[in-house]
Structure 1
């Protein structure tokens, strides 16, 4: 989210922004490193921290998320009425579909998941990781997102994290993949309670139609002022200067 935070959208006068690394990522503590299972609960902790600050207005707490974190934003807001507004950028809608798109070899991926689960159950071996992007030596079709676009984006992220004193590796903890697979934010959208909702989606995703269906599901939890915006390009362009970041801002 560095581009959005640094370009004035959320740092304008009168807006206090809390930017943090999820547990197990970057400069935050926690194990397994780059395991995503604690991220959603940590959103509620972040809201509690904001509300502990003297200058925070409890009636104007908003949350912004990109990709998997956008799904966390929706899920958290559907449970936590302290959250009054949500900005969702290129959200994951269904984790099962995401993994199906990203990991073409389901049989091999499942074998990795259950082998890792059994190894941890019996107390032997280190935490297993699935490469996020393919590199030399990565087995064919075994990477969380084996595309050049993903490799370019995460290599830049790795450089930024290391420069800031954090850490980043090319891998997601395998034990997190089952939780990702069962993720589905549509039910959360149905009971969403924030007063304001902004969904930003890249046009590559719009063609699949899931984001619009999720947006249409909102409102059962109460009256919502919603807006659905599309931008040109692919998944990461909304955070890339000169591609889509300017429209997001």
Structure 2
């Protein structure tokens, strides 16, 4: 039975989530730390993955990033990749202090935006003994250039500059929708993004809000997790990609995988970016991810 947890980051922000105890384990258990992608919150399918891992004897800690869901943090709806990376590292520190956790057997899991984060964390934090990165952002600027029409960039850059000036003058900063119907401005302008988030809101109760700071989008374009990939080894890396992904494009993730050193494994799923969370791709992927963590933790 999962329980609610909370812990404080090094700079004093309270992050909240769930702990799923490892089934059939007496004493400290190998533990996987999980957080979601760009603006997403814990209840958007992370519990499904956590339950699969827990059934295999892995403890799981799932939490919301600062400024999202049930976690504290201001400004709200602000996705700072480096603050989120620090959140993972603070989660590791907290987990290692818990009696249910084997401090020497910590794995990390991330998907989409946080799939990029775990590549960085695994490269710089040797407390991580195993990593799974699902449909990750790898090259921020190149991905953004595929999502945003070329004739829109001049106006977007001007908006970034205007937002900086406004924040300097004391304004809280602009926000925009994460997703919107086709043709309307949004941070992630793909039809499958809109279908995924709107469909989930109808199907389940969620703390997700359809808003993100403009500064978050600027930071997205400056974020390059792939530059860290060659430094992950000797930590084992499972990289999960979707063959039809156009939000975090398959070819960019495959390019990043080529930069990784052994031990590594590439799992290619059918479908698009969001199919990785549901139905047959989920069944395939969650089993492979479970086995990877069990093997290496």
CA RMSD of aligned residues (A): 2.2
Gaps of 5+ in 1: none
Quote the Cα distance in structure 2 between the aligned partners of 1:160 and 1:31.
28
Aligned residue runs from structure 1 range 198-209, under 5 A: 198-205=238-245, 208-209=250-251
Choose the corresponding residue for 1:145, options 188, 191, 214. Answer: 188
Aligned residue runs from structure 1 range 108-119, under 5 A: 108-119=155-166
Structure with greater strand percent: 2
Greater relative contact order structure (CA < 8 Å, 6+ sep): 1
Quote the Cα distance in structure 2 between the aligned partners of 1:35 and 1:191.
28
Give the structure 1 partner of residue 283 of structure 2.
246
Residue by residue, what CA displacement relative to the aligned partner does 1:32-63 show, whole Å, maximum 9, x if unpaired?
Answer: 11111121110101111111111312232101
Q: Does 1:226 align with 2:264?
A: yes
Choose the corresponding residue for 2:77, options 13, 34, 40. Answer: 34
SS of the equivalent of 1:150 reads helix
Normalised to the residue count of structure 2, the TM-score between the two structures is: 0.73
Pick closer, same or farther for the CA change 1:234–1:13 going to 2, 3 Å: closer
Deviation at 1:127, TM superposition (A): 2.6
Pick closer, same or farther for the CA change 1:173–1:159 going to 2, 3 Å: farther
Deviation at 1:191, TM superposition (A): 0.9
Residue by residue, what CA displacement relative to the aligned partner does 1:57-86 show, whole Å, maximum 9, x if unpaired?
Answer: 223210111100000001011110000111
Give the structure 2 partner of residue 189 of structure 1.
229
Aligned residue runs from structure 1 range 160-199, under 5 A: 163=205, 166=207, 168-199=208-239
Give the structure 1 partner of residue 130 of structure 2.
85
Q: Does 1:5 align with 2:33?
A: no
Residue by residue, what CA displacement relative to the aligned partner does 1:184-207 show, whole Å, maximum 9, x if unpaired?
Answer: 122211111453110110002497
Gaps of 5+ in 2: 1-35, 37-43, 287-297
Pick closer, same or farther for the CA change 1:31–1:4 going to 2, 3 Å: closer
Quote the Cα distance in structure 2 between the aligned partners of 1:193 and 1:182.
24
